[in-house]
Amino acid sequence: MAAVILEARCVAPFVVRLRFSDGQEGEANLKPCLFDWEAARVPELSSETRDWLRSPENFQTVRVDPATGTLAWGDRRPFSAYLLYWRVERHRVTAVIRSKDGAVLSTQALGGRHEAWTKGLTLGRAETNIVVVDQEGVAPHHARVTIGGGHHPRYFIEVVEGETAAGGTRSFTPGERWSVPARQPLRLEMGACTVEIE
């Protein structure tokens, strides 16, 4: 039997970050279970519950049922802990800040692919999903980075403050957005530093 779930929180539509009793931790994307899989693959999931959970507002009410060690929505427990254990993706997005000469200034794990990065990458200050390069004596550079695009993932970059360059586009206009394919690590040029996100 799989370990029991100790913590769960919804981090994106149909995606839950889980922590199990054996230390396994990561994101479980349940969208395929709700939209693509045949009913026989998830026998505990009734068609009524499946339809109800297809609403992001309903899905985000997820909690851990301490008696069974699995996820629950009200009195519904449609997914076994075993199934959830094997749906967990442990990948965490990492970022490296380098000086122009290539020296590594900082390396951080930001979070999973779907979740908001609650601890931003920073050499100074940061808010959720904002990459900040803020060095003493230099004007700060802020850019918001998110990942999306489904089967063809892309990095979405939005200028917050200062100048940012990525994927051949350079901008210092707050609010300007563009995207680059996520087939390879994202390289941001921010002031005197580069930030690589992979």
Predicted TM-score (pTM) of this structure:
0.53
185 Cβ neighbours under 8 A, 6+ residues apart:
196, 197, 198
Set out the domains of the chain in order of their start, with CATH numbers.
5-89 (3.30.2020.10), 93-197 (2.60.200)
pLDDT of residue 80: 87
132 Cβ neighbours under 8 A, 6+ residues apart:
120, 121, 122, 123, 124, 125, 126, 140, 141, 142
Q: What is the pLDDT of residues 139-166, one digit of tens each?
A: 566 777 777 666 677 788 888 777 888 8
Cα–Cα distance for residue pair 61/39, rounded to 1 Å: 22
Q: What is the pLDDT of residues 61-87, one digit of tens each?
A: 999 999 999 999 999 999 888 888 888
pLDDT of residue 191: 73
Greatest alpha-carbon span in the chain: 62
